Structures are given as structure tokens and as C-alpha cells.
Chains A and B, each alone.
Chain A
Amino acid sequence: MTCLIRYDAPMDPLTKLRRRPFMAPLLIPLLGVLMAAAGFYWLGTWAKTTVVVLVRHAEAGESASGDPDLTAAGEKRVAGLGTLLNDVLADRKVDYLYAADTRRAQQSAAPVANEFKLPINVLASSDWSGLAARIKREHRGKTVAVVGYATTLPGVISQLSGHDVVMTDDEFDAIYIVVMPSPGETRVLRLRHGAPAVAARAESASR
């Protein structure tokens, strides 16, 4: 009796593989590679870390106009700011730079602008409330530097990270770095740059 096989009949996949045993070692790794590529693509587009560096402006003098320049101590403090951020950020570069619209903030931001060859986007007083949301919306996965005041930076840090920080009037050496991995937990790092500002003030007061 002759057994006929109908090739147009539906066959389950295993039956197919059994009929082409040489394809199995190729198809399964290929499927794995395709899934891995899709995974990497998804991670690359979704999983990004946004870094925001928030810098308090350095020491400023007095001015009748209310818009003083940095003092000599302030200029000295910010002179190495660009290089410092370049070292701290390692393989990242500052992509966007914002600074308040006062001379002391602009002068504090200038070394960062020069180091990373960036323009300085000016922040008016009305821009601060929406800055955190804008960074999350427009600069996802980028590195952003913000130069501002003791009165404005803590609010931005809080909106970015949910962490409350206190910045005193004499904290001219403060740098906060908010690291926002996605997915992952947002962290806030605190750095000091230049001579210790609070210690310098205390020493000055004791004299």
C-alpha cells in the first residue's frame, strides 16, 4: 500500500522543521537577534538619561542699578567652571545652557558657554516656573546647564527630582546635578567649586 503525502495540507511548525532540519539552527538565533535588535532600539529611544547641572552664580558686588557684576572673587570662582563641568560630565557634553538675565548670572555662565561653544539662552524671571517642565519635554536625554539664583534653583531642583534642597544666600560655590535616568530613580548630587564660600564668609566675619 502506498502512503501519499499531501503537501497542500496544513502542517504544524514542528512538522515543517522536521522536514527541514537544517533550518532550525539558523531560524532560532535569527529570531533571537531580531528580538534583541528591537529591544535595543526600544531602549535607545525610550531609555535615556537627562542630566541637569544647576549652578548658583558666583559672588557679585554692589550696584545702584541692582544689576551688579561679579567681584574679583566671583570671577576667580567661575574661571574654572567650564573645565570642571567638562571633567565631571566625563563623556557627556553640555547641550543647552540657560542663565538668568542679570550680569552676575551671565558672567557666571560665560566660561561654560566658552568651554562647550554654546549660546546662552536667557531666562527672564517669568521663565523659571516652567523651566523644569520644559527641560523634561524638550531636552530629554540631553545635558542641560542652568545658572541662576539661590531663590530660583531650589524650585527647579524640586520640580525635576522631588527633592527639596536649601540654598543659602552665601552659597556661591553650589552646584547641583540632577540625574534623571529613564527608567530609574532620579538622584541629586551636590558639588562645591572654587574656594568654600561659607567658610570664607565665616573666616571674614571672625576677623
Chain B
Amino acid sequence: MPATSVLMAFVVLAGCGSPTGPAQFAGATMGTTYHVTVNAADTPARREAVQAAIDTVLREVDRTLSTYRDDSELARLNRAASRDWISVSPELWQVLQQARQVSLATGGAFDITVAPLLDAWGFGAAATGPGAVLVPPTSLQIEQALQAIGHGRLELRDTTTPAVRKAVPGMRLTVDGIAPGHAVDRIATALDALHYRDYIVEIGGEVRARGERPGGGAWRIAVEVPRALAREPLVGLRLRDMAVSTSGDYRDARIDAAGRAYSHTLDPRTGRPVEGALASVTVLDPLAARADALATALTVMGTGPGLRWATAHGVPVLFVERRDDGDGWQLRASPAFAAWIEPGDLPDSL
């Protein structure tokens, strides 16, 4: 599910990057950018070790999960046209397992087998980009794509060799809706292994923070106003030992020849883009991969069912909807979300 997560603004105190202050690392990856801030005074050698660890993780994730290179492990799995068990690496197996858990928990609102559907809508790896005019598929094409998808048709096993089996040989997977979060988790794990306790990691809007920010206190980030051209904060959050992901389509919506806008988030149950007033969904979870996948799933479920699900499961979630009059935003949050809002920053509408 390729719901692009919304970039979240960091609030990092001054002094970052100096030899005695917190170290910052940034670069390009997975078609977006990454930012890592480690709140520790380190030697240059230690900082090089952090950069090397980040580079190694991102290289491995790309080699395993990329849908844009034909030699990635996922691309090979997608090419496999048999019903045999196909062995997968522990890393790919972990991602598939996490995706399945979210699929099962949300009644199929998140589904990594939707690649044929994405291609039918022109949202897949071969997509022409947000600027291209969308040609919606016919109902028959959607039905045909639906025949080849379904998370329940992908079997996973973890016996002697982690392996997967496709019930439909032509099934293809896309993990774009969980891979950035997974990469964030892997970098966090690498920083843990280097004995860092205070850091924040972000890839394409997927954020995970541990410990304290420079100067003390929880890390502070902001959920953005869901406008294509705006970069202004809507709600401030205090993040400690937690990950956050925002799903929204206000930057990547596609337009057909008649000028109608389509969300790039597809409902795997209907085969069609999600519709309605929901502009963004923000989810908090200890794991960035799960937050990433849940943000997409709750976008598909919509505000009403999504809010009931989040409340029942105790998941902190914020739904931002466009007002009917087009002026401003309607915010609705699950009870667990309030604990993470910056004190004094509680919107009136909540």
C-alpha cells in the first residue's frame, strides 16, 4: 500500500552537529530523505560508526525490499510463478509477518498483495508520477486485479527455513506501506546496539524516538496541516520511546482528464481509491513499521470505523478531516492519543 506518509516537522534544539553537541545525519533513501539525530557528545570516530551503521541498514533494506530494482529479494519473489514454498530472508519474513498481523487486525484494510491493483490504477512501481493524468481502470480491470490479491492467499511459515507460498502464482507484493517504518526500526536497533539511548530517526515522515532530546525532555515533533503546499504545524506531540506515522494523500493525489482527484490509497476490499473528507491519519506505536502500516489501514477504514477500532485496541490515533464548509479542519482522536499531545497544544476541536 503506497500511502505516502506526511513529512513531520522536527523540532530539534540548536547546537546540533557541533563536535560536542548532538550529531545529525541526513541523506537520500527509498525515494525520499532520512534524518537521524543522536543526542550524545561523540568523537568523530563514533559518528563515523553511526553513519556506517545507517548506510548498512539502508543498503540492506533496499536490497531486500525495493520494488524499483529487479534484483531485490522482493522482486525475485514477485517473479516466482510457482506454488512452491519460496525461501525468504529473516528480514523479509519479519516484514511480511508484521504486514500480515496488521492485515488480520484490520480486516484486510492493509494488504501487501495489492500490487496488481496499484498497477491497474497506475500507482505501482511503473507509475508515471503525480503530475501525470490518471486514466481510471474499467470495472472489469479492477475485478481482474482483485482476483490476484488477498493477504490470506499468501502463506507464511517459519519452520526450518522461513518461507512463503503464493496461492495464486501471479501474486505480487508491495511493501511500500511498511518498508520505511521497518527501515526506521532497523536504524533504531542499530543505534541501540551502539549503546545510544537518546535519538530520533525519520525516513519520509516515519519517526521513531527514544529517550530525551538535547536539553532534556521528550522529543518534540508536529503533525502538519494537511495541505499540499503548507509546512505549518497543526498539533505538537511529545515523543519518547515511541514511533509515529502519518498517512495522507494531499501531496500525491492524482487527477483524471475530467479534473477529478483520486487518492493514491486504495481500498484492497473494493479495489478503488478511498474517498471522503479524511485528510490525514496519525498513528503512534512502539514500532515504526506497525505505525506505518496502521496509518494506511486506518485511512482505508475511514474516520468512523477507524476511530472505533483504535479506541477498542487502545491505539493512539488522530484523524484530520476537511470541514464541510472547506474552512479548517475537524480533528478526532482516540482516547489514547491525548497523552502524547504537547501540553497547552490541545486543539479546541478535540
Which A residues fall within an 8 A CB radius of B? 67, 99, 101-103, 106, 113-114, 117-122, 124
With A99-B87, A106-B87: A121-B161 Cβ-Cβ less than 8 Å: no
B161: nearest chain-A partner, CB-CB: A101
Cross-chain contact B84 with A102 (CB below 8 angstroms): no
* Pairwise interchain contact A102-B80, C-beta atoms closer than 8 A: no
Question: Do B71 and A122 touch across chains, with their CB atoms under 8 A apart?
Answer: no
Check A103 against B80 for contact (C-beta < 8 Å): no
Whether, in the assembled complex, B146 has its beta carbon less than 8 Å from a beta carbon of chain A, the answer is: no
Nearest-CB residue, chain A, relative to B86: A119
| In the bound complex, CA of A117 to CA of B75 (Å) | 9
B10 within 8 A of A: no
Residues of A within 8 A of B160 (CB): 67, 101-103
A106 and B82 CA atoms in complex are apart in Å by 18
B85 within 8 A of A: yes
- Across chains A and B, which 8 residue pairs bring their CB atoms closest together, nearest first? A122-B85, A121-B84, A119-B80, A119-B76, A120-B87, A101-B161, A119-B86, A117-B71
B256 at the interface (CB under 8 A from A): no
Given contacts A102-B161, A103-B160, A119-B79, 17 further A-B contacts (CB under 8 A): A67-B160, A101-B87, A101-B159, A101-B160, A101-B161, A106-B87, A113-B76, A117-B71, A117-B75, A117-B76, A118-B76, A119-B77, A119-B80, A119-B86, A120-B87, A121-B80, A124-B85
Can you give 19 A-B contacts (C-beta < 8 A)? Answer: A101-B159, A101-B160, A101-B163, A102-B161, A103-B161, A106-B87, A113-B76, A117-B70, A117-B75, A117-B76, A118-B76, A119-B77, A119-B79, A119-B87, A120-B86, A121-B84, A121-B85, A122-B161, A122-B163
**Closest-CB distance, A47 to chain B (whole angstroms):** 25
* CB neighbours of B159 from chain A (8 A): 101
Report the count of interface residues on B (CB-CB < 8 A).
16
Collect the chain A residues with CB atoms within 8 Å of residue B70's CB.
117
CA distance A99 to B161 in the complex (A): 11
Interface flags, B76-97, vs A, CB<8A=1, else 0: 1101101011110000000000
Query: What distance in Å separates the Cβ of B316 from its nearest Cβ neighbour in chain A?
Result: 38
CA–CA, A103 and B160, complex, Å: 7
Q: Which residues of B contact A124 (CB under 8 A)?
A: 85
Closest to A113 in B: B76
By a CB distance below 8 angstroms, the chain B residues around A122 are 84-87, 161, 163
- Looking across the interface, which residue of chain B has its beta carbon closest to that of A122? B85
The residues of A that contact B85 with a CB separation of less than 8 Å are 101, 121-122, 124
State how many angstroms separate the Cβ of B21 from the closest Cβ of chain A.
42
Task: List the B side residues contacting A113 at CB < 8 Å.
Answer: 76
